[in-house]
Amino acid sequence: MNKRDLKKFRAALEQKRDSIVNAPGKKPHWENMEDTRHGDFVDQASDDNEVHVNLRLLQIDAKLLRAIEAAIERIDNGTYGICSVCEEEISVARLKAVPWTSVCIACKEKKSA
């Protein structure tokens, strides 16, 4: 991947990170998020659903934040855009959709299959 693209992805990642860090009250958009499955939550108390939802959002935030920081680190050490499983290049289209991903679509599908 060339430096210009890397710079763009880095800017996008930093922007996303800042939007999580600086706007805790706002609900982020999760439509581009992968790995939103977190099925271990059990709603024990039905009368405080909102608390559960907020808690869940916070947990996703923390997870996403870690993924974003790891991606920025990979940009720094030159491994960004390389699948961590098969070491093939991740397609730019996929990186545009999910810039913090560390696996290519084939490995992602294998993983979730």
Q: Which positions touch Zn ion (CB under 5 A)?
A: 83, 85-86, 104, 107
Distance between CA 102 and CA 1 in Å, rounded?
Answer: 15
CB of 28 to Zn ion, least distance (A): 27
Residue 2 gets the label, from left (phi > 0), alpha (psi -120 to 50) or beta, of beta
Closest CB to Zn ion among residues 73, 89:
89
Closest CB to Zn ion among residues 85, 97:
85
Closest CB to Zn ion among residues 9, 102:
102
SS (H, E, C) 33-65: CCCCCCCCCCCCCHHHHHHHHHHHHHHHHHHHH
CB of 105 to Zn ion, least distance (A): 8
89 φ/ψ angles, rounded to the nearest 5 degrees: -70, 140
Q: Nearest to residue 80, comparing CAs of 104, 53, 46, 56?
A: 104
CB of 107 to Zn ion, least distance (A): 3
CB of 98 to Zn ion, least distance (A): 14
Closest CB to Zn ion among residues 20, 79:
79
